[in-house]
């Protein structure tokens, strides 16, 4: 039976190891960090760094962390919620659409997902990288890989991509709803922690090579939404969520986590901000992580455990993590609007 006339939706997440074992974690880290859009240095140097040092030394430590968040029944939280998002979106869109899920690194691969879609003779495919803010290392890498694979098809359906959804109203409202599950009045300060990037990657969006970005961003990127500036989109997401909650500027701060290596990454670093807030006498923090649409190792462990313990060691009392979008119906509606290329 031909499915011609159906429309395809491809959801793409970053990825997760197949299991919380050292070999599988090493395999995942190697594929992830060998992507030239992630570590943008020459291939030979990248190979020595990733295969010779990072993957080999980090895999055993990361495997132990993955073990702590790995559910016996549902496995990886990121995979669990991504599958739910796929299935719920399929239900919301109905039979006219075919929804696939892929991981940029590991399984299910983009190649396997597109192979499934190729045989359906879809009239169109809309690709949604599940990253609210655009970065070359995330959404850019997904789009690059999809284009690399799909150009080999003998027929080409209409292809479209969602570059970013950093100020999406329903997405922001979902984060705000999840924050309201906490007693907002009990917190001294609100923190918006995003995944970091090397500073040099901010300037690489300028093909002339003349853009030089300061480590904490320019004044413009903090107020204006730039379609290709990751930092400006992080500020835009923060403003949107804070606006939903009626937060004043002095009530919240923005920072960046998950730094790798010694070169300058976007600042302020989350760890440095925690030190500053503790020094000011703040005791209770509510932390958002709006670079992720599903809870994962960066939210559950890095914020919920690592940063929480660090803040307590500095004299703070409590760090609470705002639950990610996960399988919230309002987020599924947001995904539906993105799939339909509609404004909400």
Asked if 9 and 93 count as a contact pair (C-beta separation under 8 A), the reply is yes
* DSSP-based three-state secondary structure for 246: coil
Quote the pLDDT of residue 118: 96
C-alpha distance from residue 96 to each of 116, 122, 169, 287 (Å): 16, 10, 25, 39
Quote the pLDDT of residue 258: 87
DSSP codes, 256-304 = EE---SSS-BSSSBHHHHHHHHHHTT--EEEEE-TT-SS--HIIIIIII
Quote the pLDDT of residue 292: 97
Quote the pLDDT of residue 209: 78
pTM over 0.75: yes
* Per-residue confidence in pLDDT tens, the chain, 344 aa: 455 569 999 999 999 999 999 999 999 999 999 999 999 999 999 999 999 999 999 999 999 999 999 999 999 999 999 999 999 999 999 999 999 999 999 999 999 999 999 999 999 999 999 999 999 999 999 999 999 999 999 999 999 999 999 999 999 999 999 999 999 999 999 999 999 999 989 888 888 878 888 888 888 888 989 888 999 999 999 999 999 999 999 999 999 998 888 889 999 999 999 999 999 999 999 999 999 999 999 999 999 999 999 999 999 999 999 999 999 999 999 999 999 986 54
DSSP codes, 169-220 = HHHHHHHHHHHTTS-GGG-SEEEEEEE--BHHHHHTTSTTS-----TT--TT
Quote the pLDDT of residue 1: 44
């Amino acid at each position: 039976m031909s499915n011609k006339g159906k429309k395809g939706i491809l959801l793409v997440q970053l990825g997760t190891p197949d299991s919380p074992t050292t070999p599988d974690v090493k395999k995942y880290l190697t594929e992830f960090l060998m992507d030239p859009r992630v570590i943008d240095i020459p291939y030979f140097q990248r190979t020595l760094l990733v295969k010779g040092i990072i993957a080999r030394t980090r895999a055993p430590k990361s495997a132990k962390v993955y073990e702590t968040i790995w559910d016996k029944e549902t496995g990886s939280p990121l995979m669990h919620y991504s599958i739910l998002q796929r299935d719920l979106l399929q239900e919301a869109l109905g039979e006219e659409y075919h929804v696939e899920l892929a991981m940029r690194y590991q399984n299910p691969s983009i190649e396997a997902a597109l192979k499934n879609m190729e045989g359906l003779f879809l009239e169109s495919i809309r690709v949604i990288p599940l990253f609210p803010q655009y970065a070359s290392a995330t959404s850019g890498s997904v789009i690059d890989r999809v284009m690399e694979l799909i150009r080999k098809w003998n027929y080409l359906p209409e292809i479209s991509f969602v570059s970013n959804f950093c100020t999406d109203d329903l997405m922001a409202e979902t984060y705000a709803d999840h924050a309201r599950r906490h007693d907002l009045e009990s917190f001294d300060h609100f923190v918006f922690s995003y995944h970091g990037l090397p500073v040099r990657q901010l300037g690489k969006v300028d093909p002339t090579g003349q853009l030089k970005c300061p480590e904490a961003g320019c004044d413009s990127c903090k107020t204006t939404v730039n379609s290709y500036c990751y930092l400006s989109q992080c500020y835009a997401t923060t403003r949107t969520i804070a606006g939903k909650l009626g937060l004043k500027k002095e009530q919240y701060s923005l920072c960046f986590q998950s730094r790798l290596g010694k070169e300058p990454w976007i600042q302020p670093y989350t760890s440095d901000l925690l030190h500053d807030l503790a020094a000011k006498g703040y005791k209770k923090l509510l932390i958002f992580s709006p670079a992720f649409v599903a809870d994962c190792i960066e939210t559950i462990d890095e914020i919920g455990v690592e940063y929480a313990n660090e803040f307590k060691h500095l004299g703070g009392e409590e760090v609470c993590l705002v639950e990610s979008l996960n399988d919230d119906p309002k987020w599924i509606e947001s995904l539906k609007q993105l799939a339909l290329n509609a404004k909400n």
